[in-house]
Structure 1
């Protein structure tokens, strides 16, 4: 995976996939928990998990699949889908990238403080496998990646949060992908995607699907809260999260682990935060969940004013996102990112983004009030027919 191929706009994984080939190994399993610095920074044990652990929420991971036999993921991985043509249920992962994302979201560890813990350890993972090459490329220069089918599958199979640690500039002009994002937004789903790992080489913009209006675009920071040097920046960025020296689950063996740097890992942490909020506050719309994460984000350590092109609205904070927030909870249910302008500009062929105010009927069911309106209309029509018949008889 060379820089020149990336700059040409070919589809690439948003995280450092090749770095996941470096494995911590079984002997280091007991040390993995100590190496998960993001959990310590978030004070997960004391400030997050007593409030929410993501129970009852399904997070779709559109990626390379998920190795369901990993010891820290047993029982967490639902039977999913596969748009790669391999005809699996998504619980197969020859690359390891999807397995690592699943671990950061919903890993439950094993034994006494051993193994990987996800930030939302009681959430369930719906794996949706895509065709990914060994060097991290997906699809083609036209953006025909199967992404639209993968996203629709995730939405139609109950995902309330969709983690998309993948990216490509080619999706910008893909009408099916754009329509699938609008479909997911209309179904009250929180969409989270990685900004990309070029570090704005040669002016590289934010990747798609992160750049689509309505999607939470995530960049990566290090342990000091500084932006990772290769994290793509731009006006679409929404939040940043830990993405440097990240330990997680591996696909090589049930007791194997790996590490990586990348916006993919940061994306997984933000997806986990969305799951925590959806679990704690199930009546909130996807838009309100996003608003909670935006309004509760921690300020950048450099004191810069937010939102900006590097930090977005700030550093995603699970404990603050879970705190009482009546202003958001009683406010608009609409997705606050639908009005976001694409820095590259939407293609002329792109249809308008439909502003959807998600409610209880967002799952596709017909609203109850609509039945009432229909009954009134039917009654009025019936009465009208009766009057006309009587008049005809009198004549």
Structure 2
């Protein structure tokens, strides 16, 4: 399976000492979500393990100390996953479970008391980020499931011929009550795998006004969107990463899933997903949802955590299992059926994605293609950089 990191097309590293004291103020997603007042008093992700399948996670980063469990390495190296030569995996982990340091300094994750299980895979940085010839996705995912992960963050994407083993690993995770979250990709085209697999929460990126990022991949598989433009996260050591891409948006949705699983441990993975999609905030353009760009809308942690007996007392199955795959099923000889939509509850519809007509089966030939987190190498960000100041959406869909 060839994949591309779904991370930053635009990103850079800035020296930690210069930015450590004001990084928190620049985490606009936390402000938009009103994390301190509307989220953390309800849930901080206690007791939930989130697997991060990525480039590894550096456990001694000052904003992640104590958060990173021993994991595994499927990159061909003999480590426990707590090695990161790239910084991408560490950044995703910090968006999920960072705890900052000192007096309001450093990166806070949206689920700061969740634990991170690092599952390291082989991604090679050659200008663009490209997976190695032996990207062991099925093994990595099955390891995460078998070692206690209740949420799996997959901030990578790619256009590839999927294999039956890939699909079987996703089915295995779904059958074991795990919430799978993946980035749609950064090419402004069709949703990539593994996000396109039925059962996976496919996440696109929005900016601080709630507008979908121009390069966020789109299609009927899109489930939710989340902050992914101008995002700060932890770097490999004490440095900080400034990024735009669906990777970061994916990490925020994984964090929301962890918050819900912590607050409501009796809920199935399917019910957690239903909570997120039925409580999603409306797009600022008032477009009807679900749609190919916003999915069910903007993921909202506070609304996902609110009492929701209609979901909690309802079906336990994963509501995305019968979702259409716009690329067909390239590892099978038959097109994926398109299911009829059914009506659902309050506000955002609960029904599954559907589309009229047939599905074009795209035969994706062979070879490890496009795995890409960026069109250029990291560039130095000015130490005093401040994001532009337009008012953010407030987590409810209102700009």
Normalising by the residue count of structure 2, what TM-score does the alignment of the two structures yield? 0.81
Deviation at 1:352, TM superposition (A): 11
Q: Which residue of 2 aligns with 1:308?
A: 291
Answering whether residue 130 of structure 2 is matched by residue 137 of structure 1, we say: yes
Q: Which residue of 1 aligns with 2:36?
A: 45
Whether the 8 Å contact between 1:10 and 1:169 is mirrored in structure 2 is yes
Query: 2: CA distance between counterparts of 1:85 and 1:21?
Result: 27
Deviation at 1:12, TM superposition (A): 1.5
Deviations 1:56-94 (A, max 9, x none): 000000000001110000000000000001111000000
Deviation at 1:11, TM superposition (A): 2.8
Deviations 1:264-292 (A, max 9, x none): 00000000000000000000000000000
Query: 2: CA distance between counterparts of 1:177 and 1:43?
Result: 37
Q: Which residue of 2 aligns with 1:233?
A: 218
Deviation at 1:173, TM superposition (A): 2.4
Query: 2: CA distance between counterparts of 1:71 and 1:38?
Result: 21
Equivalences for 1:186-197 in 2 at 5 Å?
186-197=175-186
Using a 3 Å threshold, how does the CA distance of structure 1 residues 351 and 125 change in structure 2: closer, same or farther?
farther
Q: Which has the higher contact order (CA 8 A, sep 6+)?
A: 2
Query: 1: CA distance between counterparts of 2:137 and 2:14?
Result: 29
Q: Which residue of 2 aligns with 1:150?
A: 140
Deviation at 1:23, TM superposition (A): 2.2
Query: 2: CA distance between counterparts of 1:348 and 1:243?
Result: 30
Q: Which residue of 1 aligns with 2:6?
A: 14
Equivalences for 1:1-395 in 2 at 5 Å?
11-16=3-8, 19-134=10-125, 135-140=128-133, 144-170=134-160, 172-200=161-189, 205-251=190-236, 253=237, 255-347=238-330, 349=332
* Residue segments in structure 1 that go unaligned for 5+ positions in a row: 1-8, 354-395
Using a 3 Å threshold, how does the CA distance of structure 1 residues 95 and 303 change in structure 2: closer, same or farther?
same
Deviations 1:188-236 (A, max 9, x none): 0000000000012xxxx11100000000000000000000011111110
Deviations 1:126-157 (A, max 9, x none): 000001111311144xxx52011100000000
Secondary structure in 2 aligned to 1:128? strand
Query: 1: CA distance between counterparts of 2:15 and 2:210?
Result: 24
Higher strand share: 2
Deviations 1:83-117 (A, max 9, x none): 00111100000000000000000000011111100
Runs of 4+ displaced beyond 6 Å: 350-353
Query: 2: CA distance between counterparts of 1:275 and 1:224?
Result: 25
Query: 2: CA distance between counterparts of 1:114 and 1:39?
Result: 14
Deviation at 1:10, TM superposition (A): 5.8
Query: 2: CA distance between counterparts of 1:189 and 1:352?
Result: 26
Higher helix share: 1
Query: 2: CA distance between counterparts of 1:322 and 1:275?
Result: 11
Query: 2: CA distance between counterparts of 1:40 and 1:350?
Result: 47
